[in-house]
């Protein structure tokens, strides 16, 4: 709930910025060609944080290879270990502020045979587990704001689907059904809440 509230305020902040820039679209005339803001600044580097996000806590390189199409390639750390991912984005508007939809794949490399320990602070129950490789498909939608000076901020809400039968194994102890459900939420399929902030540069 706290993560949902946090993302709500981020989206509201972006919409407030848009209200200031309403009906405004950055274009520059180069000969006979008008370029939108994402054509003028077609590359970006962002820092990312979130739940079931492309990188977990990490960094992403973003490029807009067509007027409304972009691709993200990222690397970071997550509950499933060292994580890499790539995602395609469709940006609906030429304006600084735009809604978008996205789809991609993520891969958590797991922790091999390293045992991780869990202790329930309420009951004192303890168990150990390992996390294996974790491929996901991610689908979502959100908003993006790119300022004329290059500042970029975006938020995505969606769903991440684990593509194998299971990515963890209990090695010691006896977790309860509630504890297993919590494990599934922490490292399995689930809601995507992702926030990115960075700088856009380069272009045509």
For 165, how many CA atoms within 13 A lie in the half-sphere containing its CB?
1
Give me the count of residues in the chain.
Answer: 204
Structure tokens at 122: 């309420």
Nearest to 103 by CA among 68, 64, 72: 72
Nearest to 156 by CA among 11, 34, 29: 11
Q: Beta strand 190-201 with 134-146: parallel, antiparallel or unpaired?
A: unpaired
Distance CA 199, CA 63 (A): 12
CATH architecture, domain 2-201:
Beta Barrel (2.40)
Q: Strands, DSSP E only, in 79-203? A: 81-91, 97-108, 116-119, 126-131, 134-146, 151-162, 168-173, 190-201
Q: Which long-range contacts (CB under 8 A, 24 or more apart) does 29-32 make?
A: 30/204
Q: Where are the domains of the chain?
A: 2-201
CB distance 142 to 7 below 8 Å: no
**pLDDT computed for residue 204 by the predictor:** 56
Distance CA 165, CA 149 (A): 46
10-residue stretch averages of pLDDT, the chain, 204 residues long? 45 43 44 75 96 96 92 97 97 95 97 94 93 97 96 97 95 95 94 97 74
CB distance 55 to 72 below 8 Å: no
What percent of the chain is helix, strand and coil (3-state, nearest 5)? 15, 55, 30
**pLDDT computed for residue 203 by the predictor:** 64
Structure tokens at 200: 């856009």
């Amino acid at each position: 709930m706290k993560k949902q509230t946090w993302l709500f305020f981020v989206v509201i902040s972006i919409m407030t910025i848009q209200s200031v820039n309403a009906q405004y679209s950055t274009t520059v005339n180069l000969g006979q060609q008008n370029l939108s803001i994402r054509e003028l600044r077609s590359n970006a580097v962002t820092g990312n944080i979130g739940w079931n996000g492309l990188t977990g806590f990490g960094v992403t390189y973003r490029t807009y290879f067509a007027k409304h199409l972009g691709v993200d390639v990222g690397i970071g750390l997550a509950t499933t270990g060292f994580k890499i991912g790539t995602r395609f984005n469709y940006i609906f508007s030429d304006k600084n502020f735009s809604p978008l939809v996205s789809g991609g794949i993520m891969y958590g490399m797991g922790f091999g045979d390293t045992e991780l320990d869990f202790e329930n602070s309420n009951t004192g129950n303890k168990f150990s587990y390992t996390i294996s490789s974790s491929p996901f498909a991610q689908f979502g939608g959100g908003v993006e704001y790119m300022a004329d000076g290059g500042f970029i901020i975006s938020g995505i809400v969606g769903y991440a689907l684990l593509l194998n039968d299971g990515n963890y194994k209990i090695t010691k102890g006896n977790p309860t059904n509630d504890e297993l459900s919590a494990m599934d939420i922490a490292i399995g399929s689930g809601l995507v809440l992702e926030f990115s902030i960075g700088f856009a540069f380069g272009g045509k």
